[in-house]
Chain A
Amino acid sequence: MQQIINFIIRNKSFLLYLLLFSIALVFTVQSHSYHKSRFINSANFLSGGIYKSVNDINEYVNLKTQNLILQEENSELRSLMFSLSDTINHTYIDSTYSGISYKFTPAVVLKNSYSLNNNILLINKGSNDSIQQDFGVISSKGLVGIIDNTSNKYATVISILNTNSRISAKLKKSNHFGSLVWNAKSPRFIQLTEIPKIASIQKGDTIVTSGRSTIFPKNIPIGTIESFQLDNAKNYYTIHVQLFNDMTSIEHVYVIENKDTEELNTLINSTNE
């Protein structure tokens, strides 16, 4: 017993190092597995508060471009509204009711990152605004990511520029679907895999969300096809998609809550059993 205690005292710094290193390693491994809540994340009082106060100042720098983006979106929505009212008047089809009700919550990005392998964003809405894990996040131009951790006032978002994220997407033209992954090379491009060989694809085709998961509604724009190639087994295409979104400068985003998620999930689970 004496010897064990002596050993511990003699090597205390090495043992402490081993302990702390393994704790850090556990955190690291945890962060590499998708959707395991991180113990250490930036959605807390301290880092969230600091990022927010700095963002309050930074906002002014980008005010002009952000205004332009919002104005663009406004005009788009306005034109949609007018064309919609026309169709409603003439044809009497209930085209506004899609069967699924989505709730949009506007939010501001406090911290954006795009140069790492696993990029995480921080937004200024949290569980006080009824934001929960697995809500989708989009901007006016397209897809941004999925909510991961939430605190009272802040939430972290797993960006689409994250090697762990997989989002279902499809070709707008032919409805062939695959999953979006990122090869961590450029923040302007993302890869769409598992598109069957039979699909006819062309450079410039549009990629949209498939609506097969309960997170995102259908037909949210993602990007256009930049180039494509068959994989090694010659069965599936891997497509390089150029994003509509400039992920390096996003500021205003919307969090999507699907009100029917619970009902859909219970239904799917009961069917599987």
Chain B
Amino acid sequence: MNSIIFTHTFRFIILVLLQVLVLNYINFLGYINPYLYILFILLYPLKNNRVVFILLSFFLGLTIDMFFDSGGVHAAAAVSIAFIRPFVLKFSFGAVYDHQTMKFSNVEFGSKLTYFTIMILIHHFILFSLEIFNLFKIILILQNTLFSSIFTIILCVLATIIFSRRT
């Protein structure tokens, strides 16, 4: 139990630092940045206290907001995907998730990709809608969402492949 808490605290700090100090300066094609920090929410243990999980996601978003001076956009997006995570899990993994036996290290790649894609798309859409905050720029919001999502999905999948413990 302690090792789980330790792993996730460590992951929280590393992801925030990576996001703030490296990934935010990529600016691919001028404005495309990946938001890898939500990997913390994606890979949070499945058996969890939901209240604690939502609170943690909120603080993760708020920490990112503090570094980016972006008001509360990351907090809003992070807390939203934390709340809808059980529904997305059920949708993408189906029966495996219902039996409470699944682990992220031994699930099918296809359903994992579906899960990542849905979560990341929703997160980015909320993020950019709140950041741009103008309904007339809906095209810009969708465009940013699409490009940044592709970038984030690729990085998330790569990160999970590289850091998965094979036994």
Interface of A toward B, CB cutoff 8 Å = 12-14, 16-17, 20-21, 23-32, 38, 40-42, 44, 46-47, 50-51, 54, 111, 113-118, 120, 122, 156, 186-187
Contact = CB atoms under 8 A, between A and B. Distances in A.
Given A24-B75, A24-B76, 20 more contacts: A13-B50, A17-B54, A20-B55, A21-B79, A24-B58, A26-B72, A28-B71, A30-B71, A40-B62, A40-B71, A40-B72, A41-B66, A47-B20, A50-B17, A50-B67, A111-B67, A115-B27, A115-B30, A117-B133, A186-B30
Given A12-B51, A13-B83, A16-B51, A42 B67 contact: yes
A32 B50 CA distance: 31
- Name which of B17, B21, B24, B54 has the most chain A CB atoms within 10 A of its CB: B54
5 contacts: A20-B75, A24-B62, A50-B21, A54-B21, A116-B70
B68 interface: yes
B33 interface: yes
Contact of A13 (B54, B66, B75, B131): B54
A28 B80 CA distance: 15
B76 A113 contact: no
A28 B73 contact: yes
A20 B51 CA distance: 11
Interface majority SS (helix, strand, loop, mixed), chain B: helix
B71 A38 contact: yes
B77 to A, nearest CB: 8
A117 B58 contact: no
B158 interface: no
Contact of A27 (B17, B24, B72, B133): B72
B69 A44 contact: no
Interface of B: 17, 20-21, 24, 27, 30-31, 33, 50-51, 54-55, 58, 61-62, 65-73, 75-76, 79-80, 82-83, 130-133
Contacts of B130: 25, 28
Contacts of B76: 21, 24-25, 28
Contacts of A115: 27, 30-31, 33
B132 A20 contact: no
A16 B71 contact: no
A31 B130 CA distance: 11
A117 B20 contact: no
Given A17-B54, A20-B58, A24-B76, A31 B83 contact: no
Given A13-B83, A17-B79, A117-B131, A27 B65 contact: yes
A227 B75 CA distance: 40
Nearest to A186: B30
A61 to B, nearest CB: 12
B25 to A, nearest CB: 9
B12 to A, nearest CB: 14
B30 to A, nearest CB: 6
Contacts of A46: 66
Nearest to B29: A115
Contacts of B62: 24, 40
Across the A-B interface, give the 6 residue pairs with the lowest CB-CB distance, nearest first.
A31-B71, A27-B72, A24-B76, A24-B72, A120-B69, A24-B75
A120 B79 CA distance: 24
B21 A28 contact: no
A46 B20 CA distance: 13
Nearest to A32: B133
Contacts of A28: 71-73, 76, 130, 133
Nearest to B50: A13
Contacts of B21: 50, 54
B4 to A, nearest CB: 21
B128 to A, nearest CB: 9
A50 B51 contact: no
A31 B70 contact: yes
Contacts of B131: 116-118
A42 B31 contact: no
A40 B31 contact: no
B30 A24 contact: no
- Name which of A14, A41, A186, A187 has the most chain B CB atoms within 10 A of its CB: A41
